[in-house]
A and B are shown apart, each in its own frame.
Chain A
């Protein structure tokens, strides 16, 4: 297999704290040496990384590849291509596909199809309940054998508290991680925007913060009872983060993430009904955004995910309340994370941890770090290079992002998965 030398880059490994200008040697898909060249190594390819950051490939904990379900659009290929262009080398895909990822055969098929495309490693999150209906548990152990790394209810309701309890107990039996987005679906019912001044003014049906908070309180109590390992997905309110902070201090086995767009936008960005700002959970208010930023800085939040959801133009060209929620984001995860880090003067290493090592740890993935003998999943990054987000510059089939027109920092120049260059500009 190809031997690669990545020469003269600033190598940052957030997991170990390593940060130095040096060389990385790759053979057989693995990092064989960091620093001085081993005697018998002769590179077949040399990549000049001068002036660039060499960082672990990005680990994205929530993206939708629209497969199974939209094979006719060839979405898997385009979204995987977009992901590696965004520096993502490990991608956890959400089970809310059509059909739902609740059977080993479907998981197998997805992994098989993904393997034949030059993209990131794909780690399916299996459905927690059959058809995500919140009634029956899936065959988690069987799904795990076929490659599911965690079990998620995605955005589907799980209203029956007894089913939630049983799901946690069963997952805990096997040591599996459960991924839940807290939501009281009665309170959130029919809602399309944060319950705040914008929803009041625009006459949009509100989603109160209490919907997420009550959902979270219910989950946290069940975690206390079951000691199940639970990852809370895409939190959006200040109070949720306070609760997580307290839960972690209590020693509960929880972790959490936020969607990258929630670090930047608030309800005010809806402006005059901009359907690109229709997301689940909704953009909250300025205080919530400040709390998210603080919780990222103090380590309460373990990961930033893309929450990637490519949506067709037609599905967004509807009145706000009817528009399909979601933001295309795999290509913006790194730039938006860097934008936050630059605005808040957060050390690059810490910012990168949230999308690499710390994210991987939340779901128990053995990726997101640079170590000798470890997988050669790497990115070459120009963190200060600004670029303008345009629909035409996005490789994802979804052009649905409120960040069109933004100048963002951070260009991923090259992406390597298992020592293979899968993206290069």
Chain B
């Protein structure tokens, strides 16, 4: 089965998932992001790599943060950015996903940044563009259902590399709602590809997908045990609608078992870093004392995210 995100020369032409990306491409993205990290500190925060190109943010699902960082990244690359909140426009008029894509392609788009509530939607779009001879339009997955959030995964890797330098000696724990998390899936693929020897997932059985161990992770249900000796803790957001029902009895009980408090964090290595993809639920998955504490690198993640998204956009566009 051909992975549609690589062209026949094995170059990245769409970013759909971290799964199946060669280590060399991931490393190339991270190194390229290094070069872009300083652009934000300049007086003129722009480089001309995507000048004259049109980047369409196609958000079929609401997002402020991710859309904004993609917009900033595209603008720093000098692209023209068009934001479409399609949730509220075309699909409610009954237009199909691919009809929307065809219309935007006809507007001479150069890149689609896609977020969709359905797992796999960016694959459908990329394959459709290839089939309709519009493969010059690049697709970047900005989060699809529970499947993948590859730029978040990459910015997490950038963050880990920034603080820990090397992946080959690290133990990383991902905590919380793994079942519904596209971030967790992208992080797992990225970490295993980059040679991280031990990736752990920690959560109640109701929030872990069955067969998750086949993704190459160790499964824990107890925080003290799962956090023991880890170098990196990645906390996940618990969505409101999951908090009271058959998955979990209450947010309070979740916090008691899995909320990251200073006491629980003490099981990790003293120099462990704490990450979170945002937005955080303080007092649900993370205690404010940790979120605002010395070990948290949550705000740097956001800053790095811009450089990583610049790197991804410029690489898929062929720079």
Q: Is A71 positioned at the interface, with any CB of B under 8 Å from its CB?
A: no
Q: Tell me if A175 is interfacial: C-beta within 8 Å of chain B.
A: no
Contact flags B91-128 to A (C-beta < 8 A → 1, else 0)? 00000111000000000000000001011110110011
- Assembly CA distance A266 to B124 (angstroms): 21
A208 neighbours in B (Cβ, 8 Å): 210
Q: Is the CB of A321 within 8 A of B96?
A: no
Contact A318 B123 (CB under 8 A): no
Q: B interface, how many residues as a size bin?
A: 20 to 34
What residues on A are CB-neighbors of B128 within 8 Å?
A: 317
Question: Which residues on B sit within 8 Å (CB–CB) of A203?
Answer: 119, 144-148, 182, 185
> With the chains together, A203 CA to B128 CA distance in Å?
21
Residues of B within 8 A of A318 (CB): 96-97, 118, 124
CB neighbours (8 Å) of B148 from chain A are 203
Q: Of residues 110 to 165 in A, which have CB atoms within 8 Å of B's CB atoms?
A: none
Q: Complex: how many Å from CA A197 to CA B19?
A: 13
Nearest neighbor of B97 in chain A, beta-carbon distance = A318
Partner of B209, one of A200, A271, A314, A317: A200
Closest to B208 in A: A200
Q: How far is the CA of A318 from the CA of B121 in the complex (A)?
A: 8
A202 touches B119 (CB 8 A): yes
Residues of chain B within 8 A (CB-CB) of A271 are 1
Q: Which of B98, B119, B215 contacts A273 (CB 8 A)?
A: B119
B211 at the interface (CB under 8 A from A): yes
Chain B 129-171 per-residue mask, 1 if CB under 8 angstroms from chain A, else 0:
0000000000000001111100000000000000000000000
Encode contact with A along B63-93: 1 for CB under 8 Å, 0 otherwise. 0000000000000000000000000000000
Would you give the 0/1 interface string for A310-346, flagging 1 where the beta carbon is closer than 8 Å to chain B?
Answer: 0000100111111000000000000000000000000
Contact across chains for A199 and B209 when beta carbons are under 8 A apart: yes
A125 to chain B, nearest CB (A): 33
In the bound complex, residues from chain A placing their C-beta under 8 Å from that of B97 are 318-319
Known: A201-B185, A272-B4. A320 touches B120 (CB 8 A): yes
What is the bound-complex CA distance between A273 and B182, given in angstroms?
15
Interchain CB contact under 8 A, A197 and B4: no
Q: How far is the CB of A246 from chain B (nearest CB, A)?
A: 26
Point out the residues of chain A lying under 8 angstroms from B8, CB to CB: none
Given A200-B209, A203-B119, A203-B145: A317 in contact with B124 (beta carbons within 8 A): yes
Considering the complex, give the chain A residue whose CB is closest to the CB of B3.
A272
A314 and B146 CA atoms in complex are apart in Å by: 24
Residues of B near A206 (CB, < 8 A) are 209-210
Q: Quick one: which of B120, B182, B214 has the most chain A CB within 10 A?
A: B120
Residues of B within 8 A of A (CB): 1, 3-4, 19, 96-98, 116, 118-121, 123-124, 127-128, 144-148, 182, 185, 209-212, 214-215
The 7 A-B residue pairs with the shortest CB-CB distance in the complex, in nearest-first order: A203-B146, A273-B120, A319-B118, A203-B147, A200-B209, A319-B121, A203-B119
Q: 14 A-B residue contacts at CB 8 Å?
A: A196-B210, A200-B212, A201-B185, A204-B146, A204-B147, A206-B209, A272-B3, A314-B96, A317-B96, A319-B97, A319-B116, A319-B119, A319-B145, A320-B120
